[in-house]
Amino acid sequence: MAEALLLGARLPIKGIAGDQQAALYGQGCHAPGAGKATYGTGTFVLVHTGDDSSPPPHGLLKTAAVDGYALEGAVLVGGAALQWLRDGLGVLAGPAESESLATSVDSTGGVVFVPALAGLGSPWWDAGARGLIAGITRGTTRAHVVRAALEAIAHQVADVVDALPEPPAVLRADGGASANAFLMQVQADLLGITVEVAAERETTALGAASLAAGHGAQIAIGAVYEPLVGRAEAAERRAEWRTALERAKTDRSSSSHF
């Protein structure tokens, strides 16, 4: 319990947490194995580990949770890839248009977008990686590129989940991009697990308020996505992603070659 001065008034502080820890609490992830992903400019995956304070697996972080510990994976570029397509290339009016564009084509047409625009975060931690868009042909349209950008967000989350000792049984989703039904369905397809989207996407604020109130939030689920593709198809898509990802990673031995 503490106090703070705000606009001349002295207010009690009953709880404080980092944004991702607050979102984990707001999503009701209080038991070991419960996990959430917050889809914003970047994407952050946290999975509760109970009282296990042991060092994290390679590529992940160990962080404090409100009621224990958690493993964390930080994807540096999530929704920021869509912002770049809008502001840098002018191929997208805004993130809200991305879903309709992505669903206007039945696939990426072989295009794979690795949005390493600020290097790669978890689980690779490669600051020298550079973004790339592979598989472009004369038939590639902006819809294919936008669809590939959304799929890239889901692939990066899948990379983090693959680095976990065990995947969560359900991935709870929040943040602005969790409103994108196409992205959420792709996420469920690639992971092969249920994705539950919180009805209140600002679960960070909800978690902070619940912490201050001294009790866990009552989570309302806004949408549920079940995997719709077979594991063989998902594995094929993941293999295509990893091939492009390896090209995006730093290769100092051939950095002077084109």
Q: What is the pLDDT at residue 215?
A: 66
Contact 129/120 with Cβ under 8 angstroms? yes
Between vectors from CA 158 to CA 85 and to CA 114, what angle results, nearest 5°?
Answer: 30
Q: What phi-psi label fits residue 235: left (phi over 0), alpha (psi between -120 and 50 degrees) or beta?
A: alpha
Contact 144/133 with Cβ under 8 angstroms? no
Q: What is the pLDDT at residue 55?
A: 95
Contact 164/56 with Cβ under 8 angstroms? no
The torsion angles phi and psi of 111, rounded to 5 degrees, stand at -80, 135
Question: Residues of the chain whose pLDDT is less than 50?
Answer: 252-258
Strands 112-114 and 221-225: unpaired
Q: pTM higher than 0.85 for the full model?
A: yes
Q: What is the pLDDT at residue 238?
A: 98
At 131, the amino acid letter reads: G
Q: What is the pLDDT at residue 113?
A: 98
Query: What does the alpha-carbon distance between residue 175 and residue 203 come to, in Å, rounded to a whole number?
Result: 8
Q: Please give the domain boundaries of the chain with CATH numbers for all domains.
A: 18-250 (3.30.420.40)
